[in-house]
């Protein structure tokens, strides 16, 4: 195939995978579509309803991302969102995405594939992953509709385990970490689990665990310990490279009273109106309104959930609260 | 299969146009099917389920209670036009394609003489700069003329003029009267010259399809044409025909399988 980097304007990498130990990229036509859906995958699903985007699927070596980066670098990220999952992070990303001047990439599979490439192919070095991360962010973070100026990335919750690598690629980008009362997160995850809440869904080594160990844990314990590892990673890096800690209880106001300013985003009166409108709808189910569901979540928690949360998550939650409150006083 | 017919029925173009002035601009509602058009495409129902003038949806095959809407009550020429049809009339709508607007190629279903239910068009306001294509052929419908349009076939409209194009669009039942009117139609358009690509004489060749895909990656004009088509079946057909134009022969099944394989690769991306 003689496809070159110039041919791929208007196309987007949707999948990165290994074939005969070589990393490859699948591209899909996106045109001028904005990332307005709650998650990257939803937008790609919507793209593929056009038969053209479904049929024509260029496949290139990963180096094509470097060539694209060189000729069309796109927007530099201005804020990263890390989170423990089920804690309002999608509300934050949806509020930012509602402003036409922003591009928000939410939990993009290709970013996750790059970060966890070391598990798929052990010969991949940290230098390669750092380069790939910069290239893939550049390919995803393009202005498409016309006048987008700011790029924000919401990572998968488990990506914070790769914080140092992300920091190496982007040493100065401000970051926030969202968290929530552990009982409420556990209740939500046990009702409907994310990929990282199923033993083996994410490589146990990613969380410093062993394969045979995770299969012996009770489901509540596995979930709680993974969530604890995610929170501990955020806390640890908060000490060396200050991010902003945000508790679910501060939403949605924290977006305009804290996050926007921290990310250097100017908020006009019209933007405020948009924020308030988006905050009125549930981020993951646009048909429902957003309102704190702490009480029903607390009511659903059984004794096992409470004991498990207290043992594995309460200490780190307290530390996160201390870190948040001490930096807001400073 | 007949693609379209000009029926030997003519209506008073001036009277119909005068009726349009009796409808205020806020009575036009946007067409529900907004995947298929760009610009303004709106309508007013003259006969609809429960007589609601904002109810534009006319479901072929369904025999619900279609009754006159209040809008029809104040439009005498439109009433006369509908009364001239002796067959059972289900829905009747005024459909407006705004200046500069276009309807992307698509098909409707179960609307042909063979289906027992047909769609008739009466042009009211139009322009030589309106391009109506049915099955790849341009059909010119002049004000006051009544046409049978086989909407099962791919069709598209582009209004390149600076005035709105308004048609009276009627869905009615095929009965002996309508069959005899159709049989006596003077101006028949021959069965379609451009037919959907038949696989009978095309061998399967995934390799040829691969080569065609590689051509497309580098050819922006070809991409532009292929992106226009939203309907999956029409798209498959266009890919087969464009392949042929580039001396690459493969069949619709090859395209269909490639579509499925890509879908599968995406759905199974984490396995």
Q: Does A52 touch chain B if contact means CB atoms closer than 8 Å? A: yes
Q: Does A31 touch chain B if contact means CB atoms closer than 8 Å? A: yes
Mean pLDDT of chain A, nearest integer: 92
Helix axes B206-218, B220-227, angle to 10 degrees: 110
Beta bridge partners of B173: B117
A288 falls in which pLDDT band (50, 70, 90)? low
Q: What is the mean pLDDT of residues A60-67?
A: 97
Q: What is the reported pLDDT for B55?
A: 77
- Residue B152 is encoded by which pair of tokens? 């099962």
How far, in Å, CA of A313 to CA of A187, rounded?
13
> What does the pLDDT look like over B92-140, one tens digit per residue?
999 999 999 999 888 887 777 778 889 999 999 998 889 999 887 888 8
Q: What is the reported pLDDT for A206?
A: 95
Chain B contact set for A31 (CB, 8 A): 227
Q: How far is A62 from chain B (nearest CA, A)?
A: 17
Rg over alpha carbons for chain A, rounded to the nearest Å, is 20
Chain A contact set for B214 (CB, 8 A): 1-3
Q: What is the reported pLDDT for B257?
A: 94
Choose among A3, A31, A109: nearest Cβ to B269.
A109
Q: Which residue is associated with the tokens 């598990």?
A: A119
Q: What is the reported pLDDT for B193?
A: 40
Residue B69: how many other CB atoms lie within 10 Å: 21
> What does the pLDDT look like over A107-133, one tens digit per residue?
999 999 999 999 999 999 999 999 999
Q: What is the reported pLDDT for B105?
A: 87
Q: What is the reported pLDDT for B239?
A: 95
The answer, yes or no, to whether residue B38 has pLDDT greater than 90, is no
Q: Does B216 touch chain A if contact means CB atoms closer than 8 Å? A: yes
ipTM for the whole complex: 0.87
Closest listed residue to residue B211, CA positions, set B244, B259, B252, B253: B244
**Segment (H or E) for B43:** strand B41-49
Q: Chain A residue closest to B270 (CA)?
A: A109
Q: Does B174 touch chain A if contact means CB atoms closer than 8 Å? A: no
Helix axes B252-267, B232-245, angle to 10 degrees: 120
Chain A contact set for B269 (CB, 8 A): 15, 17, 109
What count of CB pairs under 8 Å joins A to B?
Answer: 58
Q: Does B240 touch chain A if contact means CB atoms closer than 8 Å? A: no
Angle at A201 between CA A195 and CA A205, to 5 degrees: 120
- Residue B37 is encoded by which pair of tokens? 């058009």
**Segment (H or E) for B245:** helix B232-245
DSSP secondary-structure letter at B114? G
B190 falls in which pLDDT band (50, 70, 90)? very low
Q: How far is A41 from chain B (nearest CA, A)?
A: 10
Q: Does A119 touch chain B if contact means CB atoms closer than 8 Å? A: no
Q: Does A109 touch chain B if contact means CB atoms closer than 8 Å? A: yes
Between B192 and B266, the more confident residue is: B266
- Residue B178 is encoded by which pair of tokens? 């309508």
Residue B51's region, left for phi above 0, alpha for psi from -120 to 50, else beta, is left
> What does the pLDDT look like over A274-283, one tens digit per residue?
999 888 865 5
Cβ contact B255–A55 (<8 Å): yes
Q: Which of A19-23, A225-229, A255-259, B63-67 has the lowest mean pLDDT?
A: B63-67
Closest listed residue to residue A178, CA positions, set A272, A289, A80, A99: A80
> What does the pLDDT look like over A173-186, one tens digit per residue?
999 999 999 999 99
The answer, yes or no, to whether residue A319 has pLDDT greater than 90, is yes
> What does the pLDDT look like over A126-166, one tens digit per residue?
999 999 999 999 999 999 988 899 999 999 999 999 999 99
How far, in Å, CA of B232 to CA of B107, rounded?
11
Q: Does A1 touch chain B if contact means CB atoms closer than 8 Å? A: yes
By CB neighbour count within 10 A (0-12 exposed, 13-18 middle, 19+ buried), where does B107 fall? middle
Q: What is the reported pLDDT for B123?
A: 93
Residue B248 contacts residue B209 (beta carbons within 8 Å): yes
> What does the pLDDT look like over B201-218, one tens digit per residue?
789 999 999 999 999 999
> What does the pLDDT look like over B73-100, one tens digit per residue?
999 999 999 988 989 999 999 999 999 9
3-class SS at A219? helix
> What does the pLDDT look like over B171-186, one tens digit per residue?
999 998 888 888 877 5
> What does the pLDDT look like over B221-245, one tens digit per residue?
999 989 988 888 889 989 999 999 9
Q: Does A14 touch chain B if contact means CB atoms closer than 8 Å? A: yes
Cβ contact A31–B259 (<8 Å): no
Cβ contact B214–A1 (<8 Å): yes
The answer, yes or no, to whether residue B262 has pLDDT greater than 60, is yes
Q: What is the reported pLDDT for B61?
A: 55
Chain A contact set for B235 (CB, 8 A): 51-52, 55
Q: Does A46 touch chain B if contact means CB atoms closer than 8 Å? A: no
Chain B contact set for A58 (CB, 8 A): 217
Q: Does B264 touch chain A if contact means CB atoms closer than 8 Å? A: no
Angle at B189 between CA B188 and CA B192, to 5 degrees: 145
The answer, yes or no, to whether residue A285 has pLDDT greater than 70, is no
Residue A272 contacts residue A252 (beta carbons within 8 Å): no
Cβ contact B217–A54 (<8 Å): no
Q: How far is B195 from chain A (nearest CA, A)?
A: 20
> What does the pLDDT look like over A192-209, one tens digit per residue?
888 888 888 899 999 999
């Amino acid at each position: 195939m003689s496809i070159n980097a110039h041919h791929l304007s208007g196309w987007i990498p949707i999948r990165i995978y290994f074939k005969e130990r070589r990393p490859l990229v699948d591209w899909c036509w996106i045109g001028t579509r904005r990332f307005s859906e709650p998650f990257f995958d939803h937008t790609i699903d919507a793209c593929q309803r056009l038969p053209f985007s479904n049929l024509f699927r260029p496949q290139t070596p990963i180096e094509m991302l470097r060539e694209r980066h060189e000729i069309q670098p796109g927007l530099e990220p201005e804020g990263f969102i890390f989170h423990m999952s089920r804690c309002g992070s999608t509300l934050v990303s949806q509020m930012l995405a509602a402003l036409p001047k922003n591009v928000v990439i939410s939990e993009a599979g290709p970013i996750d594939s790059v970060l966890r490439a070391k598990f798929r192919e052990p010969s991949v070095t940290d230098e390669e992953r750092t380069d790939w991360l910069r290239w893939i962010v550049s390919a995803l973070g393009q202005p498409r509709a016309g006048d987008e100026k700011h790029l924000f990335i919401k990572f998968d919750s488990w990506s914070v385990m790769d914080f140092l690598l992300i920091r190496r690629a982007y040493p100065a980008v401000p970051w926030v970490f969202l968290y929530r009362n552990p009982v409420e997160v556990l209740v939500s995850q046990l009702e409907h689990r994310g990929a990282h809440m199923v033993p083996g869904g994410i490589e146990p080594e990613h969380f410093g665990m062993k394969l045979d160990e995770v299969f012996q844990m009770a489901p509540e314990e596995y979930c709680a310990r993974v969530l604890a590892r995610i929170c501990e990673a955020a806390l640890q890096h908060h000490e060396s490279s200050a991010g902003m800690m945000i508790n679910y209880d501060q939403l949605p106001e924290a977006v305009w009273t804290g996050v926007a300013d921290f990310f250097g985003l100017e908020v006009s009166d019209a933007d405020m109106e948009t924020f308030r409108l988006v905050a009125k709808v549930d981020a993951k189910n646009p048909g429902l309104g957003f309102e704190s569901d702490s009480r029903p979540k607390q009511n659903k928690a059984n004794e096992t959930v409470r004991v498990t949360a207290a043992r594995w998550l309460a200490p780190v939650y307290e530390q996160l609260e201390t870190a948040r409150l001490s930096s807001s006083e400073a | 299969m007949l693609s379209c017919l000009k029926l030997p029925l003519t209506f008073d173009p001036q009277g119909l146009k005068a009726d349009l002035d009796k409808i205020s601009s806020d009575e036009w509602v946007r067409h529900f099917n907004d995947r298929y058009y760009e610009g303004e495409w709106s309508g007013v129902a003259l006969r609809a389920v429960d007589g609601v003038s904002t109810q534009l949806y006319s479901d072929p095959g369904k025999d619900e209670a279609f009754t006159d809407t209040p809008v029809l009550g104040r439009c005498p020429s439109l009433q006369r036009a509908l009364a001239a049809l002796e067959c059972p009339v289900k829905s009747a709508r005024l459909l407006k394609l705004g200046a500069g607007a276009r309807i992307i190629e698509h098909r409707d279903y179960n609307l042909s003489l063979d289906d027992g239910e047909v769609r008739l068009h009466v042009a009211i306001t139009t322009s030589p700069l309106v391009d109506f294509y049915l099955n790849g052929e341009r059909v010119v419908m002049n004000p006051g003329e009544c046409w049978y349009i086989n909407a099962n076939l791919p069709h598209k409209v582009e209004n390149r003029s600076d005035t709105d194009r308004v048609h009276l669009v009627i869905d009615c039942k095929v009965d002996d009267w309508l069959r005899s009117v159709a049989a006596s139609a003077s101006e028949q358009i021959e069965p379609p010259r451009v037919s959907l690509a038949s696989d009978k004489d095309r061998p399967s060749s995934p390799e040829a399809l691969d080569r065609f895909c590689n051509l497309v990656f580098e050819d922006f004009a070809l991409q532009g044409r292929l992106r226009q088509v939203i309907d999956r079946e029409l798209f498959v057909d266009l890919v087969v025909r464009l392949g042929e134009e580039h001396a690459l022969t493969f069949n619709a099944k090859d395209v269909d399988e490639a579509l499925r394989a890509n879908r599968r690769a995406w759905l199974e991306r984490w396995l």
